[in-house]
Amino acid sequence: MSLAKLIVVGRAIAESGLLDPVQCSENLQVAINNSDHLTVLEPKLPLLHNWISNGVSNGLKKSTIDPNDLYDVRGVFNIADLELLGLQIFSKLLIEDGEDRFSFGRIAEPLIISHAWSPIDDSTRDCFLGVLLNTGEVLVLKRTTQDSGQYDVIIRSFTSLLDNMNIPLNRLTNEGDIIVTNAEHLELKITSFTFGKASNGALYILLAHESGLISIHSLTHGLPELSRLQASGTIVKSAWSQDLSTTALLMSDNSVHIISLDANLQPKSDIQNVKSASRFLVSHLKFISTDTLIVTDSKALHVIKGGSTRETKLPYRSTILGLSFAQSSAGYTIFLSFESGHFSLLNINEAGECTLRPLPQTWTNFVNRTLLQFQYACLKEQNKAPSNVFKPFLNDKVEGNLMIHGSHLSSNGDLVLAYNVVPKNVIHHEIRSKAEFKVAVVSALELDPKITINQTSGTSISQIHGVLLRDYQSFPTPASNGKEGIDEFIQALQEWRTRKFIDFGEVNLTISPHESLTETLQEEFLNNNSIRDLQKLLTFNSAFLATLEVLGSSEELGIVTAPAKQNVNDELEMIRTKLATQLRQAVLSSVKFSDLIEADKFLYLSFVKISELTGGGKMDGVDRLGNGNVSRGHESKI
């Protein structure tokens, strides 16, 4: 993967690394902060014959991945196009007690200062995208259509919190302004937010207010508040452990506090200070396990575990712009990227002891290749000089300086980097229309072969991405565009598919009884491993079929691809039938027929008939007069 090509994002500038500009979702979506909009890289199904190319170097096979075939690059949430949202809504507040903090003026231009993906929503297998603006408002976005670039605002912190305050009507002016106290004003302003997910699948959002208040809300319409507690000082960043038992708060004085929460998300004890205030800027804090917190500043990495803190000096005095981790055989591997272009690997064992590791050769190769490409590009531009008169003023020895904007480890084990290469020791100015940054994908397994990647959640497309990228070295490619080359490629692709995916004919699906329809759908369909395997095979076959359509575009090659196309089409139809039948059986096994209204009884009986006609088996126990129930625990005959 170190030989993957780059994704170039034009007419955009990546935000400061302190704002964590690169964020990856569990569905492999990548969102990059460009201050006035977000660049989203959305996974897509590639054409299997051209997403990777093979070459030979020093007698060895070298595979080159083109990530442009794997991702759709879209610009979303462009603030200039969102005037109807009224992002200047804080200008409508009138503070009545005159105790507002001093400021030079109101913010004239809303900008994005933080963003994050939520965990996967079990009902849709999609992720929410949270955005924090410099106005102090959090907006939660959701993709409401199949368009990968269409994200709509579904939750606004300002309106939700304002509704929860129950401000009386007499505090609303005729001009549309709202009279609030300074305490209410500070409570409406958000300085940080974090998403969390409970074991039952419920999603939550933690909001840090400018007043020092911490509030936890259900991630639903209106943001119902579940708990709140008061912290002292301004909260800059926050983190939440995976089991929601602990939250960590970074204060403006670079101190770190943690709060323990019970099963109801209520504080169990007082706030605990785990890192004292310091002049060294803290850039990141992240939980790598339920009881282990990592904090990085400009000189050291701090591991906070079980009430004790261990400090490890870092080799570079530069701001850390990316902190990621992965489980390994020795505990945890930490990936650190620095603004200066440096990179570090560290190991943390179960006891919390941290050791610095040598720089991997994969990273050195990536940096050398990137800087060499920059020098070639400079030389090419110099050769375009309009006349020889200017050539003495052009330095043909311009060196590049790698500047990393941010990095994040995706759930399939790929390190996503946003970076730029700029001339070293020169004054460099670039207008916005010419500005660009690059996105690179480096396999974490090549950086540390000992890490373990367990990609069990996410959409089928994201899991197909994981399979392709982890096994790209052995993925078949067409030797030629002729009949023999295409035929050999199809056979090799079918063999590769057999090795990587299940045989759908051997899958036997059953239905077990559960207490409710929701629980039945969760256990028998959404979280059913056999269903997920079938969905992955269905998704891969869709990409396979699209590839065959392209390869067989001519009449001569269409004869070669026709048998494989028919085979894949037949498989797709049978897999769809299995999935649809399992879903129908899950619904029918949980519905109490006698409790249905007449209209639902008609739909129910139609559902039963369709299930029988499509091979789902006769549903025993259905009283046609409407007095019986469907028997539970029956087996689907598919």
Predicted local distance difference test score (pLDDT) of residue 624: 36
Residue type (1 letter), 31: A
Say if CB 368 and CB 471 are below 8 A apart: no
Among candidate residues 89, 128, 92, the one with its CA nearest the CA of residue 110: 89
Three-state DSSP class for residue 270: coil
Is 541 or 378 the better-scoring residue by pLDDT?
A: 541
Say if CB 31 and CB 38 are below 8 A apart: yes
Which residues fall within 8 angstroms of residue 336, CB to CB, at 6 or more apart?
296, 301, 314, 320, 322, 323, 343, 344, 345, 346
In the predicted model, what is the mean pLDDT of residues 407-434? Answer: 88
> What are the pLDDT digits (tens) for 158-209?
999 999 998 887 788 888 888 999 899 999 999 999 999 999 899 999 999 9
CA atoms within 13 A on the CB side of 176: 5
Three-state DSSP class for residue 409: strand
Is 367 or 614 the better-scoring residue by pLDDT?
A: 367
- What's the rounded Cα separation, in Å, for the pair 574 and 504? 9
Phi, psi (deg, nearest 5) at residue 456:
-105, -15
Predicted local distance difference test score (pLDDT) of residue 627: 39
Element (H, E) at 336: strand 331-338
442: which 2 tokens?
């480096």
Bridge-based pairing state of the strands 320-328 and 93-95: unpaired
Where would I find the beta strands (DSSP E) of 424-554?
A: 436-443
Three-state DSSP class for residue 473: helix
> What are the pLDDT digits (tens) for 18-49?
899 999 999 999 999 999 999 999 999 999 99
Lowest mean pLDDT among 79-93, 237-251, 260-274: 79-93
Is 568 or 596 the better-scoring residue by pLDDT?
A: 568
Averaged pLDDT of the chain: 87
Among candidate residues 302, 321, 323, the one with its CA nearest the CA of residue 312: 302
Which residues fall within 8 angstroms of residue 33, CB to CB, at 6 or more apart?
14, 15, 19, 20, 21, 22, 112, 114, 115
Residue 587 pLDDT class (50, 70, 90 cuts): confident
Element (H, E) at 310: strand 308-313
Which residues fall within 8 angstroms of residue 153, CB to CB, at 6 or more apart?
85, 139, 140, 141
| 3-state DSSP percent of the chain in helix, strand and coil, to 5 | 30, 30, 40
Residue 617 pLDDT class (50, 70, 90 cuts): low
Residue 631 pLDDT class (50, 70, 90 cuts): very low
Per-residue pLDDT for 219 more than 90?
yes
- What's the rounded Cα separation, in Å, for the pair 370 and 363? 11
Lowest mean pLDDT among 163-167, 398-402, 424-428: 424-428
DSSP H helical ranges for 239-350: none
